[in-house]
Amino acid sequence: MSGRVAVVGAGLAGAKTVEGLRRRGYDGRIVLLGAEKERPYERPALSKGYLQGSDERDSVFVHPADWYAAHDVELREGTAVDAIDLRAGEVVDASGTRTGWDHLVLATGSEPRRLQVPGAGLDGVVHLRTLADSERLRALLTAGRRVVVVGGGWIGLEVAAAARAAGCEVSVVVRDPLPLARVLGPELAAMFADLHRENGVDLRSRTEVSAVVPAGEGAHVGSVELDDGTSIEADVVVVGIGAAPRVGLARSAGLHVEDGVVVDAHLRSSDPRVLAVGDIARAQHPFLGTHVRVEHWANALNQPATAAASIMGADEPYDRLPYFFTDQFDLGMEYVGHVGLHGYHEVVVRGDLSSRTLIAFWRRDGRLLAAMNVNVWGVVDDVQALIRSRTVIDSARLADPDVPLADLLPR
């Protein structure tokens, strides 16, 4: 199949899209445009292994440097796209150059939300999104430094763990009663709070930052003031209060945007020539029966194969269940499934919360919605099968580690 494909966004999702096209035999022109002056790389290591110094820099890149030329992919690094011209079938970059396309794939990702308080622009206040951000933060995390992490989501907690491993004094400021409470609910969020406190993290919950205060008369951060009237001394402030999908291009072009670029199960937008993948894609999910937008590595890794299939005319809807993972201190976990807006009725735990070796199951009406395995491995396939079976499972058998997960599937 020949033609022209332009991919805007040269992260993991963009790189996997062009790889998927070439793998399927697409022999037309492919242009991959990225605003960063780096070839595509993966982000999980930026708050995990690379930040902690255990992963080498080269390990984060999706492909070797010569892969793009070898596969006839025109990679334009340091090229920001300013506009999409749907009528002409072109994208316009910051230099005014127009690039034509027959299919356009948007893989623009997310951008970190900024702290909107006095002093948020001081030196020493950092966000973590890019490879350069991770390198800057890595240099700042030295023994004895006082680090305040604002936000108790996955990125914030992973940074806190990395900072403690580097010998820093660490405080985490969370507006909710517990970190991760909105993701995991109180039953499992408490486990992560205990984990961090046991590893020396000063966890401040039910409070928010009201101001970042400079050290003396300088421009560098010296402390963080909280809305409960307390203050924490700080050399480094890491802001991890979530991210927003980069949908400005799509919105300006007139595509349907609602908490992301709204796409069908084949990842086609309101203009079927334009597809969206990764963080920005709010995709119709055939199994879940609703539109879902997931800001995790697995979507950026796997959705591009569906986008490539759609461009090639294949009928291969994206129906993988949401998946993510984390590593913090001595805890490793994987989460699969989707609780959704209707919530859950109960959490069933198989294993031991106190030793953090368990599988937790979120259920509604007796049916499994999602599960998280903590320091237990090799179970994700069985868990996915249980979720997809939609079967009502006896809670006692679900909690019993002596009952193999495969035995819970309907016969």
pLDDT, tens digit, for every residue of 262-319? 999 999 999 999 999 999 999 999 999 999 999 999 999 999 999 999 999 999 999 9
pLDDT, tens digit, for every residue of 332-373? 999 999 998 889 999 999 999 999 999 999 999 999 999 999
Q: What is the CATH number of domain 4-111+244-311?
A: 3.50.50.60
The answer as to CATH 3.30.390.30 being correct for domain 330-408 is yes
Give me the residue label for tokens 């022999």: 27
pLDDT score of 350:
98
Helix (H), strand (E) at residue 140: helix 131-140
Which residues are CB-contacts of 194 (< 8 A; sequence separation ≥ 6)?
Answer: none
Residue 1 has pLDDT above 80, yes or no: no
How many percent of the chain have pLDDT more than 70? Answer: 100
Q: What is the mean pLDDT of residues 242-251?
A: 97
Q: What is the CATH number of domain 114-239?
A: 3.50.50.60
Tell me the domain boundaries of the chain: 4-111+244-311, 114-239, 330-408
Q: How many angstroms separate the CA atoms of 46 and 294, rounded?
A: 19
Exposure of 76 in the CB half-sphere (CA atoms within 13 A): 19
| DSSP codes joined into one string, 266-280 | T-B-SSTTEEE-GGG
Residue 126, strand partner residues? 238
pLDDT score of 187:
86
| DSSP codes joined into one string, 217-257 | TSSBEEEEEETTS-EEE-SEEEE-S-EEE--HHHHHHT--B
Strand order in the sheet with 281-285: 261-263, 281-285, 290-292
Distance of CA 244 to the CA centre of its chain: 11
- Do domains 4-111+244-311 and 330-408 share one topology? The answer is no
Residue 113 has pLDDT above 80, yes or no: yes
Q: How many Cβ atoms are within 10 Å of 45's Cβ, its own excluded?
A: 19
Among 16, 22, 67, smallest CA distance to 304 is for 16
pTM here?
A: 0.95
Burial, 315: exposed, middle or buried (Cβ in 10 Å; 0-12, 13-18, 19+)?
exposed
Q: Beta strand 346-352 with 231-233: parallel, antiparallel or unpaired? A: unpaired
pLDDT score of 207:
97
Which residues are CB-contacts of 135 (< 8 A; sequence separation ≥ 6)?
Answer: none
pLDDT score of 24:
96
Tokens read off for 337: 């499934």
pLDDT, tens digit, for every residue of 190-226? 999 999 999 999 999 999 999 999 998 889 999 999 9
Residue 114 has pLDDT above 90, yes or no: yes
350 sits in the region (left: phi over 0; alpha: psi -120 to 50; else beta) called beta
pLDDT score of 138:
96
pLDDT score of 411:
82
Q: How many angstroms separate the CA atoms of 176 and 206, rounded?
A: 5
Q: What is the mean pLDDT of residues 86-97?
A: 97
* Alpha-carbon torsion, ordered 327, 331, 332, 335, to 10 deg: -100
pLDDT score of 341:
86
Q: Name the DSSP letter for residue 321.
A: P
How long, in residues, is the chain? 411
Q: What is the mean pLDDT of the chain?
A: 96
